[in-house]
Amino acid sequence: MTSQTQTSKVAIVTGASGGIGAAIAERLARDGFTVVVNYAGNAAPAEALVARIEAAGGRAVTAQADISNADAVRRMFDSAETAFGGVDVLINNAGIMNLATIAESDDALFDRQIAVNLKGTFNTLREAAKRLRDGGRIVNFSSSVVGMLQPGYGVYAATKAAVEAMTSILAKELRGRNITVNAVAPGPTATKLFLDGKPQEVIDRLAKLAPLERLGQPEDSAATVAFLVGPDGAWINGQTLRANGGII
């Protein structure tokens, strides 16, 4: 049974309409959080997710916002505060990945990943730093490519390395408010973002990289987030957890 204290908490999950974000939203709803399901453009998957959560006895609402737009992020926080009285948890899951060597990366590839992965995370962190209720939790999403440093991931890995830096710095800046700030860095995970465009032999090879010899599942990342925002994660702060099955 979920405690009354936890059931009153409100969590914004960015990029929550599919993949890891949807798994996080469903897990937090099961754990008793009211979940704000953020999506950028396509409302249908987000609305379907909210329907599933509510059918299972949880509480959730959709919130359209392109996180690269600071005004849209501000409005999303405004709406959550109006509807629920405040926000306790921010999960920065939204992100995009476009791969190319550094030599072949054009300006559009660079600018879009910076806009969503880095500026978007900054936009939500800035609002959360001002507005999260004391005792809250922030979980950013990095990637294990920051440690693996594979060719073709230069721009993407750079955005995620910057997210890790901001994670540790914001944890220190929020001293005195009992708010933890951490990051989760998944390895290869069986999501549309990861699987699209990859031949099966490549997927099979990547699945064997971790000593546990499988791809991560969205639920693996969701369980890590649930730990960090739950009572057992209260002493973890300013850290990046590489939830990747031991790949690095």
Closest CA to 143 of 59, 242, 219, 35: 242
Starting at the edge strand found earlier in the chain, the sheet holding 34-39 runs 59-64, 34-39, 10-13, 89-92, 137-141, 180-184, 240-241
Residue 91 φ then ψ, to 5°:
-115, 110
Asked whether the beta carbons of 60 and 70 are under 8 A apart, the reply is: no
**Amino acid symbol at 20:** I
Catalytic, 156? Answer yes
Place of tokens 């000593």: 211
The DSSP call for residue 47 is: H
Instruction: Say which of 156, 171, 184, 228 is annotated catalytic.
Output: 156
| Residues known to be catalytic | 156
